[in-house]
Structures are given as structure tokens and as C-alpha cells.
Amino acid sequence: MPVNTDKLAPLTILALDTCTESCSVALRHHGRIYAQQADAPREHSQRLLPMVDAVLTEAQLSLSEVALIAYGRGPGSFTGIRICTSMTQGLALGQDLPVVGISTLQAMAQAAMDEQGAQQVVAAIDARMGEVYWGEFVCEAGIATLVGRERVCAPDAVSRDLNYHCEVVACGTGFDAYPELVIDGMTISSLAKFPEAKYMLTLAALAHSKGLSTDVDGLAPVYLRDTVTWKKLPGRE
């Protein structure tokens, strides 16, 4: 059954993401989207709140008028995920707002579907240490829907469950880092290299309608990799 996006539209949603090199914020209010994005891998903590203030000001809203905060829950940079969840916690706690986590891989797939009409998308983020964060998605009623599970693995261990006899759009830094991931049947997207908050808005509204939002105590970052192992490596986040 198609998703009734008109029914979801009235919800005023603030979305934010800092899980990769991209820092982005988006606000949907009365069906209009206000968005800001910057490639600033080491400035997320300084840029995020001014970007939130900017979209709220443009929409002439206060944070108290927001109904839901969506946050990039990962996978991605450990530092970026922590910044996103801590900022979400601070914003939501003061106004007692519900929150909902959105997969960065799903947000990238949603961008490819919204902007390119993609029906099948594989999203891959460079996970360093010779691995990628990997997820495959199909378009169901306009929504990026996960096939199988998201995973972190070596490039030669990825699971290919889509129909590669039909076009598959590939997006993300994983394909730059590991060109061997590109196979026949894939089209590389230049429009969805990083997740952007504006593509989380419909996903967040749908998740909220399904009862998947929580209070701030339910914030659930997704790392896919053991953080303890990562921290033991010198020079890593």
C-alpha cells in the first residue's frame, strides 16, 4: 500500500546528522523544507547548533514548536555519531521532545530514490580498517526499505541480495575507497555520497507513525563495530 505522505506532512520535524564528513540540518513545517548542509568533517560540534538556529529562524519557529527530532543514528564516524546523539539529547531534553534515529545508509538510499527515481540502492560508507558499512535497499511505496541487514565487513564479504540484472544505484564513500565493490549492473550516484538530514524527514515521520520514536532515554546510536576495538587503534576516532 502506498505511503500517504500528505498525512505525514503536518508533523513539524527537525532532523540532524553529523555521522559522516557531512554536517546537515533540516526542518519540515507545514509541508515546506528548510535545510542546511556543509562538508566540514572536523567542525560538526561548532556548526550544528548554528545550523539548527538558522533553519528555525528561517521558518520563524522556536524549538518548542517542533514535534519530533530525527537524528542520524549511524553507522559512520564514531565521533560524528556521538556528536549527533549528544546534540539531539540536549535539544530534546529541554523541550521534552520525542526522538527517532534514522540509519545513515537508509537516508542515502532515500536520497537516490527521491532524486534519481532509483528502485534498488546499495549504500556503502568507508568504515576504515579495510571495511565498509553496507546496506541494500529497495523502493517500496517511495520509501527506502532495507533488504537483509546492515553490516560492517571487508569488501569481499559484502552480501549482494538485490537483483543485479536490473539497475542498482550505488552511493557512498565506500565505492571511492574500494572500487572493487562496483560491479556490472551498478550506476554510481553523485547525488547521494553522504547522508543528508532532509532525506530523513519522511523516514522519521513514518517511523513516528509506527510508534518507533522514544524519549531521550531511548537514544540508540548504531555503530555496527565494537567501539572498544576501534579505540585501541592509535590515530582512530
Q: Strands, E, within the chain: which ranges?
A: 13-17, 22-29, 32-39, 68-74, 99-103, 120-128, 131-140, 143-153, 168-171, 186-188
pLDDT at position 9: 57
What fold does the segment set 5-104+195-231 form as a domain? Nucleotidyltransferase; domain 5 (3.30.420)
pLDDT at position 228: 36
The per-residue pLDDT for range 190-216, each reduced to its tens digit, is 889 999 999 999 999 999 999 999 999
Query: Rounded to an integer, what distance in angstroms lies between the CA atom of residue 217 and that of residue 220?
Result: 9
CATH architecture observed for domain 105-188: 2-Layer Sandwich (3.30)
Query: Rounded to an integer, what distance in angstroms lies between the CA atom of residue 235 and that of residue 237?
Result: 7
Sheet holding 186-188, edge to edge: 143-153, 131-140, 120-128, 168-171, 186-188
Do 143 and 1 form a contact (C-beta atoms < 8 A)? no
168: β partners: 186
Same fold, 5-104+195-231 and 105-188: yes
pLDDT tens digits in sequence order for the chain, 237 residues long? 334 444 455 899 999 999 999 999 999 999 999 999 999 877 888 899 999 999 999 999 999 999 999 999 999 999 999 999 999 999 999 899 999 999 999 999 999 999 999 999 999 999 999 999 999 999 999 999 999 999 999 999 998 999 999 999 999 999 999 999 999 989 999 889 999 999 999 999 999 999 999 999 999 999 987 643 334 333 434
Q: Where are the domains of the chain?
A: 5-104+195-231, 105-188
DSSP 8-state secondary structure symbol assigned to residue 200: G
Do 155 and 144 form a contact (C-beta atoms < 8 A)? no
Number of H helices, E strands in the chain: 7, 10
pLDDT at position 84: 96
Classify residue 83 as exposed, middle or buried by CB count within 10 Å of its CB (0-12, 13-18, 19+): buried
Query: In sequence order, what DSSP letters do the residues of 11-64 get, joined into one string?
Result: S-EEEEE-SSSEEEEEEEETTEEEEEEEE-TT-HHHHHHHHHHHHHHHHT--GG
Query: Rounded to an integer, what distance in angstroms lies between the CA atom of residue 87 and that of residue 81?
Result: 10
CA 48 from chain center: how many Å? 15
pLDDT at position 8: 52
pLDDT at position 41: 76
